[in-house]
């Protein structure tokens, strides 16, 4: 049955959903992966597509930007459409010297400055972690590629204004990248006893902006991350 934000029926979604932030990237991914893709929802311009990859069902749907937006879609997909796993295919800013623009980060866990996870379990600082089988599948698909990293990221409520001392401290603690959704996704998956992973392409670097991707490149440059995401979706 349709929800306030998804105009589809239960069987319209595959058990695994790839979820970029950008609706245009979602359409591009669907066209790239699934010649048989059909649009199953388009509420608020957030297109959702379902088809098959190598005979296996897959859906692609954008989250919009930030945890509140992703939270709406993840909640509805897990609770109303029998979705079992969501794999975010996103962009992120590098915040440590060991990652470069164009590298891929498989987000093992996600620190956050958002209150959304603070209030989940009273008195507890919730740990937002990826699902191990999905991490393992993505790592296996990465092979020996040294530009693919497996590490914690930070999910922030603000895109602009990363305090320099916070960036340094996060890097000192092994955090490689900043984005805006993974911590929310991991927590919602845990809430529903489902699986989640974020595979992030580094689109810009907080310590050196000389190689930052343009808006168009951010829409297009995701193929390597996509291969890992599909491996996780179908593991
Ligand atoms: O490229 P996407 O997947 O949207 O991810 C990143 O880009 C957006 C900010 O430009 C935020 O959603 C952030 O998490
Ligand atoms: O949240 C984000 C996403 C991409 N790049 C950033 O610097 N921050």
Q: What are the extents of the domains in the chain?
A: 10-233
What tens digit of pLDDT does each residue of 2-39 get?
Answer: 999 999 998 999 999 999 999 999 999 999 999 999 99
Please give the model's pTM, rounded to 2 decimal places.
0.96
- Is the pLDDT at 219 greater than 80? The verdict is no
Given 12, 204, 208, 212, the catalytic residue: 204
> Does residue 220 register a pLDDT over 80?
no
Secondary structure (3-state) at 69: helix
Question: Which ipTM did the prediction report?
Answer: 0.98
* Minimum-distance ligand 1 atom for the alpha carbon of 66: 12
Mean per-residue pLDDT, 193-216:
95
CATH architecture of the domain with range 10-233:
3-Layer(aba) Sandwich (3.40)
How does residue 133 score in pLDDT terms, banded at 50, 70 and 90? very high
Orientation of helix 182-191 relative to helix 67-80, angle to 10° = 30
Q: How confident is the model at residue 122 (pLDDT cuts 50, 70, 90)?
A: very high
The minimum-distance atom of ligand 1 relative to the CA of 203 is 1
Identify the CA nearest to 227 among candidates 53, 46, 21: 53
Q: Which of 20, 94, 201, 204 to mutate to test the pocket of ligand 2 (most atoms within 8 A of CB)?
A: 204
Model pLDDT, residue 62: 98
């Amino acid at each position: 049955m349709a929800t306030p934000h998804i105009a589809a029926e239960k069987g319209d979604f595959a058990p695994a959903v790839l979820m970029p932030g950008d609706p245009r990237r979602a359409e591009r991914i669907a066209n790239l992966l699934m010649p048989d893709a059909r649009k199953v929802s388009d509420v608020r311009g957030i297109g959702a597509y379902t088809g098959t990859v190598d005979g296996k069902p897959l859906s692609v749907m954008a989250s919009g930007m930030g945890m509140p937006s992703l939270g709406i879609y993840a909640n509805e997909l897990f609770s109303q459409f029998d979705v079992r796993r969501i794999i975010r295919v996103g962009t992120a800013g590098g915040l440590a010297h060991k990652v470069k623009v164009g590298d891929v980060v498989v987000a093992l866990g996600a620190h956050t400055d958002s209150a959304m996870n603070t209030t989940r379990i009273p008195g507890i600082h919730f740990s937002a972690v990826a699902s191990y089988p999905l991490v393992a599948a993505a790592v296996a698909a990465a092979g020996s590629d040294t530009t693919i990293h497996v590490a914690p990221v930070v999910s922030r409520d603000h895109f602009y204004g990363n305090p320099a001392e916070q960036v340094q401290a996060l890097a000192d603690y092994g955090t490689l990248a900043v984005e805006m959704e993974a911590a929310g996704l991991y927590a919602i998956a845990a809430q529903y006893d489902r699986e989640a992973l974020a595979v992030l392409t580094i689109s810009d670097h907080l310590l050196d902006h000389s190689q930052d991707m343009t808006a168009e490149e951010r829409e297009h440059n995701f193929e390597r991350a996509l291969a890992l995401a599909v491996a996780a979706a179908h593991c």
